[in-house]
Each structure stands twice: as structure tokens, then as C-alpha cells.
Amino acid sequence: MMGLTSILLLLVATSTAAVLEHQLVWKESQMIQLIRNGEYPAYLDFRDRMVSARSSNLATVVQSATDYVYYEYMGNITVGTPDQNFIVVLDTGSANLLIPGTNCTTYCEKKRLFNEKESNTYIATNKPWQIKYASGDAYGTLGIDTVKIGGSFEPQLAIPNSYLGVADTVGSDFKWSPKEGIFGLAFTALAVDNITPPLINAINLGLLDQPIFTTWFGQRGAPGTSASGAFTYGALDKNHCGPVIGYVPLTNARHYQFQATGFSLGSYVSTTTYEVITDTATSFLCGPQAAIDGLAKAAGATWDPTNQVFNIPCNADAGPIKMKIGGFNYVIRANNYILQIDTNSCLFAAIPQSYAGFGPAWILGGPFMRQYCNVHDIGQKRVGFALSLQ
């Protein structure tokens, strides 16, 4: 499919529930590709103009925590009966399932489109929805259908009567991206119109052994090589992850949001306690300007104003980024925060984000999630971390 590595899926069933290990497809982020090709400044200008031109006439919900040019991992799902296949971003920073419908033309070229008329389990609601993303607004109508995690040719976890957003218009990032949808994994409180997200629906229906899922991201290789990853629904991932180091309670059960303190690297030390989230749809760390500047300087990185990123020597002798979460110490080693974009160029995988004193100040994306498996305990509203077994 679309020239990408096929998805493997392991489903271990019990009489009433299941554990599903969903092997991911890795694709280098659009951001890295645009920087390599010299096109990222034009994208930033386009994105900023899109944001400033948004209309505020319709009720909207700001969904994803990050711009979708940052993601690197996807998975297969199907929607409807019989199956209609889609490859989607698995996103802990949003809560809705979005796929393009047959009315979608702009930015939907060469995408598979969901045809509700060909599904004999589809229930129309005729209710409109709209979501703001960094790359533009998406809107369409809400529907209800059977959603399955996994493609048609692998074992699947079927989640009946799940809400989905059938999009008539999608963000501009769909045009350049291999993705055909977004599968939100966050809580109902974040979802448009307070609908129940498919994963929460699966838990409510008792389809999983435990109300948890574990994320594991493998190491990134050199440019041109692939990476591995897996989401395990219903259990801890003991194949790729060590014992859980500790859990921390969520401070806001919309995202997977909690507190962290003591961000440091070398000579830079911050004692501030921040609200942070983990996010499977970004390959970077995002944080307050002063903190990111301090970490970058300590690592030996320099600011590139054209691409609005930090460059760093690929062979930089940089120490680990340290932090404390729930009383436990965690580190992100340099091999996880130095991203190689071509033979002689590397990025410091941390970028500043706006922070107005409320909401999450930090987003712990790919560098942290490669270092540690994340255990999303939806039932107890907490998140735990285990060292990734690379």
C-alpha cells in the first residue's frame, strides 16, 4: 500500500477481551523532507497565512497539540462493512477519528475516500463538525460505523458503533502526506461534540483485557532507512519494553497531561515545574522559548532563523537531557534528540512553542518516546514509563 512497509498485527484473544499488538509504519516526517529540499520556509509562511485567515463564524475545537508535518508513525485501520482501508496517524494529542469522504476533493488527490453508501453498517447523523488544525480547518459530517484497528489482511480488533468524522475538507498537509486520516487516542473531553472516541468506545464495550495501551518507538536510522514501532492495546508491551519505572497521575484528562520538573542538560538547569503532555504525532520536543534555548546552547546547537530550528553537529559530544516525573528521574540521550537529515546535517530535536501560562508548556514527542515506552492507563487516568528495549 502506497509503497510503504506492510503492517503486521498480532491479536491475542480471550473469551471476552483481547490484547492487540499493532506494528507501525514509519515514514520520515514532512518537516525533515521540506527542510532537506529547501521548502520549509515557504511552508511556514503558508501555514501562518492559513492560521491568520481562519474564519471564526463556526464553533470549533482546537484539536491536535502539534502540526501534522511532525509525525513519523502511522497504522492501518478499516472502516465500514465490508472493510474500507485507510492508513492513519495514531495521535495521542487529539481525540477524533477523521477520514476523507467522497465529497473531499481539495488535498484529497490520490487518497482512498470513505464511501458510506458502500457500508451496510454505516449510520448517518447529518451532524456537521469542524476542527482547527495548524495546516487549516477540516470539516464534514459525523457518522457511526464499525472501526477496526488493523488492515483487512491481518487479524483485527473490531469496535462497533464508533463515531467518525467523514471529511469534506481536510488540512493542506494531506496533500504532501501519505496519511489518509487521523485516529485520535485522547479522551472524550477533548473530542469535538463530546463524542466517544473509538478507543474509549472499545474500553467501554469491554473489548480489551485492560483499559490501557502501550506505545513503543524504535530507534531512527540514517536517512533513507526505516524505523520500527508498535502500539499494544489492552496490555503492557513486554516484548519491547522493560519494567514500568513509575506512574504519574494525569492533571488534565483531556490529553495525557502531567507534571514534570528539573529539565536540564549540562550547564543548563531549570527548577520550574511544568505541565507537559506526551504526543505520538510529533517527532520533536516542544517547550518554552527560554528552556529550549538553554538546552540547545548546552548541547552545542545553533539557531537557524530560516527554518526556525536548531542545527547541531552530527557528532556533537552532548550529554543527556534530564527531567523528573512523579519523583523518578528520566533522561533522553543524544542519539534520540539528534536527528540526521542528510549526510552532514543534523537537527537538535527541540523547538520552542508559544506558552501563555496555561495548558501544557511542554510536548514530549519522539525523542522521549524512543527512550521510554509510554503506558497510557486510561482506566486509572495516569501514564507510566518503561525503558525501551532497543
CB under 8 Å to 305, separation ≥6 — which residues? none
Q: Do 173 and 68 contact (CB within 8 A), yes or no?
A: yes
- Cell, residue 180: 489518509
Grid cell 491479536 — which residue?
11
Closest C-alpha to 346, from 381, 296, 275: 296
Q: Of 83, 91, 145, 173, which residue is the catalytic one?
A: 91
d(CA 160, CA 146): 4
Nearest-angstrom CA–CA distance, 9 and 230: 9
Query: Among the options 67, 83, 168, 279, which is catalytic?
Result: 279
Q: What does residue 378 show for φ and ψ, rounded to 5 degrees?
A: -70, -40
Nearest to 148 by CA among 162, 131, 135: 162
And the C-alpha cell for 215? 506505545
Instruction: Tell me the C-alpha distance between 98 and 120, whole Å.
Output: 19
Separation between Cα atoms, residue 388 and residue 241, nearest integer Å: 5
Q: Which three cell numbers stand for residue 303?
A: 539557531
CA distances from 264 to 89, 276, 286, 311, 321 (A): 31, 15, 14, 19, 6
279 in catalytic set? yes
Task: Scan for cell 483485527, then name that residue.
Answer: 156
Give yes or no for a contact between 73 and 217, defined as CB atoms under 8 angstroms apart.
yes
Q: Return the DSSP state at 289.
A: H
Instruction: Assess whether 91 carries a catalytic annotation.
Output: yes
* Cα 165 from chain centroid (whole Å): 18
Q: Are strands 338-342 and 302-304 parallel, antiparallel or unpaired?
A: unpaired
Catalytic positions, please? 91, 279
